[in-house]
Amino acid sequence: MKIVCRCEDISEEDIVKAIDEYGCETLAELKQLLRLGMGHCQGRTCLILAAKILARKTGKSIQEIMPSFRPPVVPVDIGLIGGENEE
């Protein structure tokens, strides 16, 4: 078994199955169904790997299947942004 997304524990087989069973054509759809790239690393490791699997299976280009990126770029503490981290 090849692990693609380490944060959410998703394998290549999971991705191939989602593409075959649900007809996923974009990374956004894989995110919705599998939580691919939604873990602590923000998809830095897995999204490009998953994009390659999708491109291979659907014949689409990488550009067509990349999702939107959502801030913040790195995880930030709530207390730091909210301005009340006394400790």
Contact 58, 32 (CB under 8 A): no
Q: How far is the CB of 40 from other proteins (least distance, A)?
A: 6
59: contact with other proteins by CB under 8 A: no
Nearest to 67 by CA among 31, 20, 42, 34: 31
From the list 13, 20, 56, 81, which residue makes contact with other proteins (rule: CB under 8 A)?
81
Site size for other proteins (CB under 8 A): 27
CA distance 52 to 46: 10
Which residues of the chain form contacts with other proteins (CB under 8 A)? 22-23, 25-26, 28-29, 32-33, 35, 38-40, 42, 70-72, 75-85
